Copies of this chain bind each other. A is one copy, B any other.
Amino acid sequence: MTELTAALSAFKSEAITRLGANHVLEGNEAARFEHDFWNQYSGKAACVVQPGSTEEVAAIVALAARHHIPLVPQGGNTGLVNGGIPDASGQQIVLSLERMNRILSVDPAGDTMTVQSGVILAEIQKAAEQADRLFPLALGAEGSCRIGGNIATNAGGVNVLRYGMTRDLVLGLEIVLADGTVLDLLKPLRKDNTGYDLKQLFIGSEGTLGIVTAATLRLVSPIRERVTLWLGLSTTEDAIALFGHLRGIFGDLISSFELISSYGVEAAITQLSGLRRPVAEPWPWHVLIELGWSFTEGLRERAEAVIGTLFEEGRIKDGTIATSEEQRAMMWRIREGQSEATSKIGYVVRSDVTVAITDIPALVARCESWVGEFGNDIALLPFGHIGDGNLHMNFVVPREKASDLAPPLLERLYSEVDQLQGSISAEHGIGRAKRDMIVSRKPAAALDLMRKLKAMLDPDAILNPDVVITRPPKR
């Protein structure tokens, strides 16, 4: 038995003593924690531990620290950059937060909610709604992602335009540090400038600097009248111009402004059941827009008047306003269902980039100009939150060519993004998938500071050690 095997064995037996045998999983029971939702990445865990309280998380982290065993924190396992599953070594331990799923308190008067980190996002949304409030973080995976993972990855989603990223919705955090210390920063105050805002360090750090065990979230006013528009357009330039025009009229009442390609719409309505195109024609581009306010009436009339003018002025080709919750749901199902639909057609090479809003047409045009060079059987699947400059420029490729084509396609895409001074990860994070890609893209002083933070907060490399940033090169 090697030293490491002995350490793993000791860890497991002590973890069983602390958590109970039913909360230390191996073999088949561990399997679902070892690969991502889309089965694009997989690894092998020494075991999966499922602490049920902050004290148990702290005890497990202290135990891992004592045995020098790396932990991989995992929430709902819906990440897309291989940051929440173990590597292939079989020597990392998954620390699942699934059991930490209690809503601890809701304070509608103060517009806050305090939750454990394993609560599913949709349940937080529901609890806010029951208190006549809105928790505005919303994304495709909301039915299975967990808030700790949203916080650890600073998740974005479809409402960033109005409400910001996850970071903007976090008022307080409870963190377990790499030595097992509990850092309680859970104050539910809107304003608290008493020293460095330490919680910011952990938001978006992908489980590499500390483990989120609880959070106080900011709630916002409920939306009592919502208007959902689906418009057909000829070009991406028209979409960007339309965004500027509508933003000028509706201001921050616009919560979502989603661009969808004809390919994405047709894939969704043909591959998924019960969907039909909201407008008659298969326009080259479609936008899905959502407006809302706290009043109960009056916005729809304003929207109708504006849409009428847009038609008259030729700014849009076609368009409709959802007249029922079913219609609205179908529009969103087309938007969110593109990934599932295209996964039935081929392998989806995913990306998540930001450029300046006005550079979106250029980015799409450039990719369209060269995608054929990689083969005639590759489809471009761009969609995204263009009000934030964030495009998921995906490629649908024949399954058998996926491993050959994915790296060069992404390399070409990222070089376009670099030329436009954009970001190669808008909202998905770095994980392992993009870890080495940021090294050449970030200033040396930034990488140096990232490494120093990692070394300071996790000197023994216990927390997700091969994710986001590697240790400083040995000299």
**A residues in contact (CB < 8 Å) with B:** 107, 109-110, 132, 153-154, 156, 160, 164-165, 167-168, 177, 181-185, 187-198, 200-201, 203-205, 209, 220-223, 244, 247-253, 293-295, 298, 302, 354-358, 385, 388-390, 421-430, 434, 438, 441-443, 445-446, 449-450, 452-453, 456, 468-469
Contact A438 B251 (CB under 8 A): no
Sampled A-B contacts (19; CB under 8 Å): A164-B168, A167-B197, A183-B443, A183-B445, A189-B422, A189-B426, A193-B423, A193-B427, A194-B423, A194-B438, A196-B469, A197-B203, A198-B449, A198-B450, A220-B252, A221-B247, A223-B251, A248-B294, A295-B302
Contact of A423 with B181 at beta-carbon distance under 8 Å, contacts A195-B468, A196-B453, A221-B252 already known: no
A113 to chain B, nearest CB (A): 14
Bound-state Cα–Cα, A177 to B444, Å: 13
Bound-state Cα–Cα, A156 to B357, Å: 28
Contact B251 A195 (CB under 8 A): no
Q: Which B residues lie within 8 Å of A438 (CB)?
A: 194-195
Bound-state Cα–Cα, A422 to B191, Å: 10
Q: Which B residues lie within 8 Å of A167 (CB)?
A: 197
Bound-state Cα–Cα, A251 to B456, Å: 42
Contact A193 B109 (CB under 8 A): no
- Closest chain B residue to A132, Cβ basis: B248
Contact A160 B190 (CB under 8 A): yes
Q: Which B residues lie within 8 Å of A434 (CB)?
A: 194
Contact of A110 with B389 at beta-carbon distance under 8 Å, contacts A191-B423, A295-B302 already known: yes
Contact A195 B445 (CB under 8 A): no
Bound-state Cα–Cα, A53 to B110, Å: 43
Contact of A446 with B190 at beta-carbon distance under 8 Å, contacts A196-B201, A452-B456, A468-B195 already known: no
